[in-house]
Chain A
Amino acid sequence: MESLVGERRISYDARGLAEPNAEAPRVAEIADGRAVFDAKDLTTRLINLELRRLVYEEGVRAVTVRNPGSKHSLGVGILQRCRITFEGSLGYFGCGLIDGPEIHITGRVGWSSCENMMSGVVVVDGNGGSLTGAAMRGGDLVVRGRVGARTGIDQKGGTIIIGDSVGSNTGFMMQRGRMIICGDAGPGLGDSMYDGTIYVGGKVKSLGVDCVPGEWTDADTELIERKFRIYELGTPPSFQKFVCGKVLYNYDNLEPSERRIVL
């Protein structure tokens, strides 16, 4: 499939399923510890193989990927400190399972970007799809635009910063970590959250079950100011803070027989 403008000029199999070749294509140009390669004609598998070859085998610590073409599952499973720049947009599940890299995406990201991220920094200049930062465990994820529903679902750590608005059920079943939303939040914010903190700079359509306003402390101010300074987000708006009300903490009500099974 081929269109005429922008990234749509690129022909690709977005799911990258038909790639039996498991050899890195070795197309990158490497100079002064930096590498650049064009992903336009590469499948998902070959792009990821080339990335791993550069980072693990060649010891390159700064890689630029041109024309990622919104392909899915790019930049996943990188477990090394390095800098990766995607000049364009990513599809589903981009940059998942990473532990260490600092990644800059100049375009947008699809569903579930940075899913299960362990550590590192990901900055997205555009918008994000649903489930951004799903099950994230550590590190900083910054999306300068808007994101979809269930952002930070099952978040277990780390900091998610959204420059604009978020969709419904953001922070659903959040267990730990921090979420800073500069714009509005859709209905069901923080539904069934266990722990963690959600800051909202705009309006909240409605709170989810067991999500309640929290008491602002100096530590909250320090966190917000530090993150805004590091990611050059300007002057922080006035934030509301939301935490878990903990009325759904029912474990003490278990029957003795249930307790033996569960514990």
Chain B
Amino acid sequence: MTETIHHIDSEPEKTTGLDSEYLSGKRFPYQEDASLLAGVDLVAGTPGADINWLEDIELLEEDGVPAVFDRYSNSFLKIYFALPAEKPVRDEIARKVLLLHLQSGNSYGLQLKPIHCKFPQPQLGSWVDGSDTVGTDWKAPVLEGWAPKAH
């Protein structure tokens, strides 16, 4: 769990940070072990003949730590292992970490899909073929003990 959480004093349950570890409550092995990226194929994991949407993904920084932005949970996924100096290689590592994060279903946004999806869609999006379909029986949440006023 990350040590630096930007809490709001008056509302301690909220944070101004954008850390995926805060959202999911844990750190994942591929954030600390570069060897786990060996089998990640960026071209196979994206549509078309090249890396497609990952072309816009680059290594950024959050709280002074190298990080990649996960647009599916609006949070930064920090990378703790040593990175080379060359930007193209750093960006490629960032893309692999992010793709593995999404394919593993660990992105917090993907974990919320079974609860909040309003129409059928694959839980793991376009990154994993044959993942479960979610959103087939969405019902509006009901607040216990509350009923709408008669009009």
Tell whether A pairs with B. Answer: yes
Question: Which of B7-15, B41-49, B142-150 lies at the interface?
Answer: B41-49
**A138 close to B122 (CB less than 8 A):** no
Could you tell me the distance between the alpha carbons of A140 and B120 in the complex, rounded to whole angstroms?
Answer: 25
Say if the beta carbon of A152 comes within 8 Å of chain B: no
**A121 close to B122 (CB less than 8 A):** no
Q: Could you say which residues of chain B place their CB within 8 Å of the CB of A79? A: 121-122, 125-126
**A101 close to B47 (CB less than 8 A):** yes
Say if the beta carbon of B50 comes within 8 Å of chain A: yes
Chain B interface secondary structure, helix, strand, loop or mixed? loop
**B48 close to A121 (CB less than 8 A):** yes
- B38-75: which residues lie under 8 A (CB-CB) from chain A? 46-50, 52-53, 55-56, 71
Could you tell me the distance between the alpha carbons of A77 and B117 in the complex, rounded to whole angstroms?
Answer: 13
**A99 close to B120 (CB less than 8 A):** no
**B120 close to A120 (CB less than 8 A):** no
Task: From the candidates A80, A101, A139, name the one contacting B53 in the complex (CB within 8 A).
Answer: A139
Say if the beta carbon of B130 comes within 8 Å of chain A: yes
Say if the beta carbon of B133 comes within 8 Å of chain A: yes
Q: Could you say which residues of chain B place their CB within 8 Å of the CB of A140? A: 48, 52
Say if the beta carbon of A191 comes within 8 Å of chain B: no
- A124-150: which residues lie under 8 A (CB-CB) from chain B? 137-140
CB distance from A100 to the nearest CB of B (A): 3
- A70-100: which residues lie under 8 A (CB-CB) from chain B? 77, 79-81, 99-100
Which of A77, A138, A157, A176 gathers the greatest number of chain B CB atoms within 10 Å?
A138
Could you tell me the distance between the alpha carbons of A137 and B50 in the complex, rounded to whole angstroms?
Answer: 16
Q: Could you say which residues of chain A place their CB within 8 Å of the CB of B133? A: 56-57
With A79-B126, A100-B126, A138-B56: A119-B50 Cβ-Cβ less than 8 Å: no
Say if the beta carbon of B86 comes within 8 Å of chain A: no
Could you tell me the distance between the alpha carbons of A100 and B53 in the complex, rounded to whole angstroms?
Answer: 9
Q: Could you say which residues of chain B place their CB within 8 Å of the CB of A59? A: 130
Say if the beta carbon of A247 comes within 8 Å of chain B: no
Could you tell me the distance between the alpha carbons of A140 and B48 in the complex, rounded to whole angstroms?
Answer: 9
- Chosen A-B contacts, 8 in total, with CB atoms closer than 8 Å, are A56-B120, A77-B119, A79-B125, A80-B121, A121-B48, A121-B52, A139-B48, A230-B50
* Other 4 A-B pairs with CB < 8 A, given A139-B53, A230-B50: A57-B133, A79-B122, A139-B47, A230-B49
Q: Which 10 A-B pairs have the closest CB atoms?
A: A100-B126, A138-B53, A119-B53, A157-B56, A121-B48, A81-B126, A79-B121, A120-B47, A230-B49, A139-B53
